[in-house]
Structure 1
């Protein structure tokens, strides 16, 4: 066996072993979500339940209002996708329209990416409070409807679309709205796929802003509901594991199927 082949076998074995070790907590979480309470104190501990049960998931939705938290989270996801369309429109305007102050305005949008969200959280809260939108779903959704990174990503992609294509559409009598929805959107499907995945993950994991804005349990998201389990049911490990599994598994599935597009999301912004 050559030295190169030995090196390849060693690296493959090392990566597989590292992957298995990193997966053990996740596998244990999934298995524990189906355990009855008495199996958490068993010695030696087990990864998979001896007597699987769905009681933890039933309690999660029947006693802990996780169905309400799920509906709120999906509402945020829905409006985040509406914001995705707004980001695309803004990116298209920056890429293909000439107007006074375009570059300065775009640089100003980029500058906001360097400001931590924690710095702007209090001013945004004061603005939303002055509008009377605290403790409302509108107040939770509105500040995150558009984002500088999304605008930047769409702008960078749409600069690669030839102007001759747009001019030809205008000569055929197409208006700007028709050009955007019938021509630009189909061309921009790759970047929409990338941003759609990132948008879903961000909205699904929304925690801090909903926690600040919502005073009513009926407006909490899944992340906030999961944090409540640690306080109110700190010793109910089965319930906590069920909540964590319900929160994490959709993200794992999406990442597994679309990891290629997620990686492209961080590289496509460098296209010229």
Structure 2
């Protein structure tokens, strides 16, 4: 009976894995098809006998995708660095410091999680425009340097650190600033790694905000480049070249996740467990 149950579980997992991985297979397959052959398909073909890498060459020559990748890398590194710094300070304040109205303020802060991000896009756009920061990296970065969810996640992790460590550090004359960076941050490093990787992925995949705030190719990110490639077809969307660009853009994120997958799972579990 146990063997049958185990076989059934593995069968269901295999089916689920196929369902999850099929879009990636279709993306890679489409990127290897010629533009004319793809548009000539009335019935989608699940394989190709004449793969071509022309779409990858086209993705990097029709538009400066390499430059957009560098822009995105710069944007992701700077934004993530600032966000992690702000998150650490805010989480420490809510977890360890005592000040009047802290609980009320934290409750109101958490209430912001109920507001969809799309609702504040217009406000951010108007603010950045009035500050004359359109078509600048600063305008791209500023709205993304805070995250209520990441502050909450790290605050819960900070709260798990025993109070005895804090009191012992204060007896030794350690300042709050030194205690934060020498004790709290190293202990909660798995959660910080998780937050960092998730933020990098978020920045890498950002589409709506860069499309609104930049119309100068000098500041385009990969999302803008993929849209340009999509529109490069002769009267039709150039889907194979766009898929080739998506594959090229996705590879760094997949590699990043595979390298740090254990830290991500450990960090989420550690941040979400109390006691």
Counterpart pick for 1:25 among 23, 36, 43: 23
Find out whether 1:244 has 2:246 as its counterpart: yes
Give the stretch that moved more between structures: 89-98 or 165-174: 165-174
Aligned to 2:68: 69
Q: Is the 8 A contact 2:62 2:229 kept in 1?
A: no
Q: Deviations over 1:103-136 (max 9, x none)?
A: 2221121111111112222122222222221221
Query: Structure 2 matches for 1:24-173, cutoff 5 A?
Result: 24-37=22-35, 39-40=37-38, 41=40, 45=45, 47-48=47-48, 50-53=50-53, 55-82=54-81, 83-173=83-173
Give the stretch that moved more between structures: 32-41 or 67-76: 32-41
Q: Which runs of 5+ in 1 are unaligned?
A: none
Q: Is the 8 A contact 1:79 1:145 kept in 2?
A: no
Q: Deviations over 1:46-93 (max 9, x none)?
A: 62553543x322222232111122122112211232211210111011
- CA distance in 2 between counterparts of 1:33 and 1:127 reads 39
Change (3 A) 1:114 1:156: same
- CA distance in 2 between counterparts of 1:197 and 1:12 reads 30
Q: Is the 8 A contact 2:191 2:268 kept in 1?
A: no
Give the stretch that moved more between structures: 228-237 or 180-189: 228-237
Change (3 A) 1:248 1:170: same
- CA distance in 1 between counterparts of 2:140 and 2:255 reads 26
Q: TM-score scaled by structure 1? A: 0.87
Q: Deviations over 1:154-195 (max 9, x none)?
A: 111101112221232233333332222222211110111211
- CA distance in 2 between counterparts of 1:14 and 1:155 reads 37
- CA distance in 2 between counterparts of 1:22 and 1:70 reads 26
Query: Structure 2 matches for 1:204-243, cutoff 5 A?
Result: 204-233=204-233, 234-243=236-245
- Number of residue pairs matched? 269
Q: State the 4+ residue runs in structure 1 displaced beyond 6 angstroms.
A: none
Aligned to 1:189: 189
Q: Which runs of 5+ in 2 are unaligned?
A: none
SS in 1 for 2:272: helix
Change (3 A) 1:177 1:254: same
Q: TM-score scaled by structure 2? A: 0.86
Q: Deviations over 1:206-234 (max 9, x none)?
A: 11111111121222211222223323334
- CA distance in 2 between counterparts of 1:194 and 1:15 reads 25
How far apart are residue 102 of structure 1 and its match? Answer: 1.5
Aligned to 2:274: 271
Give the stretch that moved more between structures: 195-204 or 59-68: 59-68
Change (3 A) 1:151 1:211: same
